[in-house]
Amino acid sequence: MKKKTIVLAFSGGLDTSYCLYQLTQQGHQVHTVFVNAGGVSEAEVQAITDRASALGSCQHHTIDAQQAIWDEFVKPLVWSKAKMRDEYPLLCSDRYVIVKLCLQLCDQLNTPYFAHGCTAMGNDQFRFDQTVHSLGSYEIIAPIRDLQAEVKGNIRDLELNVLKAAGYAMSGQHEKYSINENMLGVTVSGSEIDVFQAPTDDSLCWVKPRSEWPAESLEIQLGFTMGVATHLNGKAVTGPVLLKQLNQQLAQYGVGRHIYTGDVSIGLKGRIVFECPGIDGLMQAHKALEDLVNSKLQNQFRAQVAERWAELIYQGFFYEPHKHDLEAYLASSQSHVTGTVTLATSGGSLLATAVESAYIVQDSQSVYAQSAAWSPEEALGYIKLTGQSATLVNQVRRAS
């Protein structure tokens, strides 16, 4: 086999560790890239660097992508409130930025070879591969997918055994589960989760169990400027810092843990546990503000845009022009989404309890269910004319 210079997207987990070990054993010169998408400590980043070196990386690269993920994904996610099947807020979407940054390194190294640790079973393989195809001419190397063509059965056990035999053991949690963490949240699959049983406490990552919730309640104020969260409790912060702090604070109160079952692109039912306390808080606060400052038709149409945008992101079409068209509309709809929202929790649930904005759509002479700037006669006329179609069709059908 011709020896290649390969750029490997490296997380330090089981699959990418196996990829690095196998590729170096084959004599390839492997540049590992950990694209820091957040959700990991400095100690964990260093552990990933050390692991890459121990497994034979010729050079390890760490790239911070948190601001890029905030700009390219979090903003339109919050604007649209998009969730697959109204449940899953697309926490996988750091993949697209990871691939883009890895391909930039390929260009710098003048190599067309890009490797990833995706299996042949899930959606990530399409997300990775389609992003590569959309961004240029590169050759994809997928050792785990290749392994599945050779070995039947549970390949995770094979990977674990190969790495153990070579002296590279995995942590106990990573032996049981496949765990992906980033600034957006955590996804967990494997073991009892994959066979549709109740997740055990071993699968808990960020969100604390009820027994550990603080006794005092929590209030958080989020300030938005043209739809973008810019202030936390009155203090200006960058998007990634704001999201990190929301994750930490809300997770302490048990906010943000979910289970999602969805249809994988190639026809399977996939199930994950996921935790996204910060995203939950951002989306709930933004919705409370947007519902008050945007028009009825804007708020209605948002749901249609969200469904299409979520489908494109989930399926792997991050660089599809239609997605950018939708985002242009979403950005336009944020022109007056400026104000402050108070979030409150005593544990488990989260409420947007107060909203302040100069753009709240309200009539000073009218309060819902209390007072109105129109007469009862005008209300009766509105009811008659608006309901005329339904009234008439029922009259005709009763008479026939």
- Our CA angle for 283, 286, 288, nearest 5°, is 110
Instruction: Give pLDDT, residue 173.
Output: 61
Query: Which tokens go with 80?
Result: 């649209």
117 pLDDT band, cuts 50/70/90, is very high
- What is the rounded average pLDDT of the residues 350-368? 92
CATH number of the 185-356 domain:
3.90.1260.10
Q: Which helix (H) or strand (E) holds 339?
A: strand 339-347
- What is the rounded average pLDDT of the residues 305-327? 96
Place of tokens 């200006």: 236
This prediction has a pTM of 0.90
Q: Do domains 5-175 and 185-356 have the same CATH topology?
A: no
Does residue 253 register a pLDDT over 70? yes
* Integer Cα distance of 228 and 286 in angstroms: 9
139 pLDDT band, cuts 50/70/90, is very high
Evaluate whether 229 touches 70 at the Cβ level (below 8 Å). no
Query: Which tokens go with 257?
Result: 């843990």
367 pLDDT band, cuts 50/70/90, is confident
- What is the rounded average pLDDT of the residues 215-230? 98
Query: Which tokens go with 23?
Result: 């590729």
Instruction: Give pLDDT, residue 232.
Output: 98
370 pLDDT band, cuts 50/70/90, is confident
* Integer Cα distance of 199 and 204 in angstroms: 9
Evaluate whether 116 touches 13 at the Cβ level (below 8 Å). no
CATH number of the 5-175 domain:
3.40.50.620
Q: Provide the residue type at 287 as one letter.
A: K
* Integer Cα distance of 95 and 150 in angstroms: 26
Instruction: Give pLDDT, residue 169.
Output: 78
**Number of neighbours of residue 263 by Cβ within 10 angstroms:** 13
What φ, ψ does residue 218 adopt, rounded to 5°?
Answer: -125, 135
**Number of neighbours of residue 325 by Cβ within 10 angstroms:** 12
Lowest-pLDDT choice from 16-20, 267-271, 336-340: 267-271
Instruction: Give pLDDT, residue 174.
Output: 62
109 pLDDT band, cuts 50/70/90, is very high
**Under the phi-then-psi rule, with left for phi > 0, alpha for psi from -120 to 50, and beta for the rest, what region is 32?**
beta
Evaluate whether 90 touches 310 at the Cβ level (below 8 Å). yes
Does residue 107 register a pLDDT over 70? yes
Instruction: Give pLDDT, residue 113.
Output: 98
Instruction: Give pLDDT, residue 185.
Output: 97
Does residue 249 register a pLDDT over 70? yes
Nearest to residue 44, comparing CAs of 34, 54, 53? 34
The strand pair at 5-9 and 113-115 is best described as parallel
Write down the domain spans for the chain: 5-175, 185-356, 364-400
227 pLDDT band, cuts 50/70/90, is very high
